[in-house]
Amino acid sequence: MDINYRAEIDKVLNYPDEKLVKLEKDLMDSIYSGSGKGFWNCDMGHPSYVIGAKHGAEEKIDDPVWGDGPEKSSLYQLIKAVHSEMTQRNIAVTLPIRNWKDFCSLAIETYNKMKRER
């Protein structure tokens, strides 16, 4: 990824409350849609998320073999930063993503739901 997502995240954290809430809703809706956007190979059922849902970040997954991990995933980093900022501002979040395990669990739940509905 060519974009410096940390700089982009810092910009987002300066959004007014209403815009931050809208962004959080849009990010969560994008996960719930099952499109795979923002996930490694657009695959919400990728092994890195299966492992993350089971073990969290305890298992070493942030390497070329697994493809994605908590330090590498810009979607995870953005959601985590937005949720942290919303919590600091006492704004309710849709579904707290407190860690990599929460993020991966939501990805896998959504992936499995989409598979069942096909």
Per-residue tens of pLDDT for the chain, all 118 residues: 445 667 888 888 899 999 999 999 999 999 999 999 999 899 999 999 999 999 877 665 556 667 788 888 889 999 999 999 999 999 999 888 889 999 999 999 999 999 998 7
In angstroms, rounded to a whole number, what is the distance separating the alpha carbons of residues 92 and 70? Answer: 23
pLDDT at 62: 53
**Pair 63, 114: CB distance under 8 Å:** no
Q: What is the pTM of this model?
A: 0.85
In angstroms, rounded to a whole number, what is the distance separating the alpha carbons of residues 85 and 25? Answer: 14
pLDDT at 60: 59
Buried b (16+ CB within 10 A) or exposed e, 51-87: bbbeebbeeebbeeebbbbbebbbbbbbbbbbbebbe
pLDDT at 35: 93
Contacts of residue 96, defined as CB under 8 A and 6 or more positions apart, other chains included, come to 83, 102
